[in-house]
Structure 1
Amino acid sequence: MNTQLDLATVLLLHKSSFLVGAFCFLYARWQSPRDEGLGILASGFFFLALASTLAGYGEQKLLPAYLWTLSSFTLGIGGYALFWIGVRRLSAGRRRKTDWLALSIPIAGAAIGLATHFHVVNYIRASVFNATAFVFLAASALAVISGRSREPLPVRALFAAAMAVGANLCLAVVIGLVKPGIIPITTTYAFFLSIICHFAIALFALVLVKERAEAELRCSADTDALTGACNRRWFLAQLPRSNWHGDCLVVMDLDFFKRINDRHGHQAGDQALIAFVDLIRKNLRKGDCFARLGGEEFGLYLPQTSEAQALAIAERLRRAVEELVVISNDQCIALSVSMGLAFAGGDEGTWEDLFNSADAALYEAKRSGRNRVTSFSSAAASGSKPMERSLSRTG
């Protein structure tokens, strides 16, 4: 297949792949101005396209060797440095001023070239260029894949793989130049494969931006804007559709919350809600689900937790809230919470039945003086009647 590849055509396509990628990055930057790195990625690909153009003119003897060799080498290394900076910012979603130190590498390369004229020797220039490109591409792939723990987007693996393949192609070129015959791949064929990598990198960068936007929309739809807690919609979606016997549901309601709003103002009430949410979230076990159901009411789902364990957990949370003091306008606001607990013992037909049981327990806790945890079994024993309520209620 190598003999069927025309070098001039491949170089033209190679340059074109950088230009197409640059315009894709610019379009994505226009559509998603908050995504860091897209403009820098476009600049990097433009630099690489210009370097490829100068190299093509040089190979056709249209430019003097001393001019195109050093300029294409410097622009190409600079392009890969910008590419790495852009990928780092796109992956992390934030700026790092120290990333710009990567541009010292092409500057140093240009200075060494002016001093030693190594760039006029084709295999040395090509070896150094591709070795540097390998380092930047491999580092870019590592930056993308290392961000999966913070932002587990599916496309990250494909994005990193495309850059890893490009890095290995650069490494193959270096090995082929230093030790000819070891790797059965020509420079022309390596350029051809790298064209595919460039298109793949541009494609997966666009998909990453799209997946990130969709994830942000899902997060916004599932998050309470005031407290940052998950909302009712998310909470109901987390409840299992089957095999939920042996789980516990706790419904919480802040005591005398209207009095806090009336006495201290709604801003103080908001601060109290935020402080309450932060406290509860810090004291949850892994696997527990907590959400704001509406107003000052919250839900806590405890999977595979006995009634005794759930009572102990709820009591610990109640005491923590009782000790919490919120400072607003130099005034101390004391909080307390009432909790109703229902255990899924197997008689409940639906989650609505369990919610009604937890509501009945909460009603009994309120009726008995507030600032306490009451289970449905004890509330039923005392003869308390459940309140009318359905899962569609939002207050």
Structure 2
Amino acid sequence: MDLATVLLLHKSSFFIGALCFLYVRWQSPSSHGLGILAVAFTLQAVASTFAGLGEKHALQLSVWALSSFSLGTLGYAVFWIGMRRLSGNNNRRSLDWFALAIPAGLIVTALLTGFHLDSIWRASIFQGSSILFLGASAVTLMLDDRHEKLSARYALAAAIAVAVILSVFVVAGLMAPDTAPLHPRDAFFLLILCHFAIALFSLVFVKERVEAMLTTLLDTDALTQIRNRRWFFLTLPAAPLAGDAFIIIDIDHFKRVNDTFGHAAGDIVLASAAREMALNLRHGEIFARLGGEEFGLYLPAASNLDPQDVAERLRNAVQSLKVKVGETFIPVTISAGTAVACAGLPLHELMSRADTALYGAKSRGRNRIEAYRADAPSVLASDPRQNTRPAQTTKAGQAA
């Protein structure tokens, strides 16, 4: 395949990628980075066009060489900026634009020294800039996975990493053609396939992110911003194992809060209590709002967590809350019932036992934890390690 054909395919790959980025950006305006990536690919396409015109001797060497080199190096710098936006879904990294100082410095150096007129030097320095910015893009994608683990992220990083390796092969082929593992023209052709792969995986990455966001919205309670009933029951095992525990939690006198202070105040109390409990959870604790003022907490046996200790931790955390609505402080307490599964116990029965324990906690004064005893299912008993007396409340607390 001659160089003119390779350059035509090279240009086409960038133009197609730019159009795809613009289309998806139009369809999903919240997808940061796609517009910048479209600009980067367009710069590369125009740079390749100038190189093609130079190959056909349609332009003077000094014109097409400088134009192709300048637009190409700028394109790779802009690509890195776009990938930073895309990777972190953040459009507030204004300092990233200082990366344009690198291609600007190379362009000034080319004007002063004329190295761009030598094809070996021009191509080697151009590929060197691509290695720098493509490598930085791949690193950015991998570092951001701590905040957002999407499988397409790794595929996109891999495609960019392959492009870096091929760029190294191009430089090696130019500098040492006799010992290079791959002819520069062949490596350049494979880079075209990488451009398509980068565009493809970028779009897949955006699609996967949107789907993840929709799933999160579907599984999140709108008021409290914790997981909801749907997510909770989808996460639970089909049948509990021996030692699994279920805790059902209820905000004490919540109806009285709504009636006394209004539903807006009730929403604040509900969200505050949910947030405080969520902050006091540990790894392996499955927690969600089941509805109204009721919350569920599931502890797998493998977590080695004592349900009484966990429930008491949450009770203490909520009791220490200072919920202020206007000029009024509303005391908040919770009651909870715990139940531990034995072998063969159905999930609904485990939840029923915890609910029975919760009823016992409420009937004994609230602001307490009750455990359902598996060896005496008809009897409710407090955990002897816990205070069996309800915590003291103020008159305001009783009114709430």
TM-score category, normalised to shorter length? over 0.9
Q: What is aligned with 2:257?
A: 260
Q: Which of residues 362, 367, 378 is equivalent to 1:366?
A: 362
- Shift in CA distance, 30/151, structure 1 to aligned 2, threshold 3 Å: same
- Shift in CA distance, 308/222, structure 1 to aligned 2, threshold 3 Å: closer
Q: What is aligned with 1:115?
A: 112
> Which secondary structure does the structure 1 equivalent of 2:290 belong to?
strand
Deviation for aligned residue 1:112: 1.1
Q: What is aligned with 1:342?
A: 339
Q: Which of residues 231, 251, 256 is equivalent to 1:234?
A: 231
Q: Distance in 1 between matches of 2:302 and 2:352?
A: 19
Q: What is aligned with 1:391?
A: none
> Which secondary structure does the structure 2 equivalent of 1:148 belong to?
helix
Q: Distance in 1 between matches of 2:262 and 2:173?
A: 74
Q: Which of residues 379, 382, 387 is equivalent to 1:381?
A: 379
> Which secondary structure does the structure 2 equivalent of 1:147 belong to?
helix
> Which secondary structure does the structure 2 equivalent of 1:380 belong to?
coil
> Which one-letter code corresponds to 1:32 in the other structure?
S
Q: Distance in 1 between matches of 2:303 and 2:189?
A: 63
Q: What is aligned with 2:20?
A: 24
Q: Distance in 2 between matches of 1:101 and 1:253?
A: 54
Q: What is aligned with 1:275?
A: 272
Deviation for aligned residue 1:169: 1.0
Q: What's the CA shift string for 1:203-238, capped at 9, x where partnerless?
A: 101111111111111111111011111001111112
Q: Distance in 2 between matches of 1:248 and 1:69?
A: 71
> Which secondary structure does the structure 2 equivalent of 1:339 belong to?
strand
Identity among equivalent positions (%) equals 50
Q: Which of residues 38, 59, 63 is equivalent to 1:67?
A: 63
Q: Distance in 2 between matches of 1:172 and 1:306?
A: 50
The correspondence of residues 1-395 of structure 1 with structure 2, limited to 5 A, is: 5-95=1-91, 96-242=93-239, 244-304=241-301, 309-346=306-343, 348=345, 350-377=346-373, 380-382=378-380
- TM-score normalised to structure 1 length: 0.92
The answer (yes or no) to whether the contact 1:175–1:183 under 8 Å persists in 2 is: yes
> Which one-letter code corresponds to 2:253 in the other structure?
F
Bigger mean CA deviation after superposition, 37-46 or 296-305: 296-305
The answer (yes or no) to whether the contact 2:370–2:380 under 8 Å persists in 1 is: no
Structure 1 spans left out of the alignment, 5+ residues: 384-395
Deviation for aligned residue 1:327: 1.3
Structure 2 spans left out of the alignment, 5+ residues: 382-400
- TM-score normalised to structure 2 length: 0.91
Runs of 4+ aligned residues of structure 1 deviating over 6 Å after TM superposition are 305-308
Pairwise CA RMSD? 1.7
Q: Distance in 2 between matches of 1:243 and 1:362?
A: 20
Paired positions, count: 378
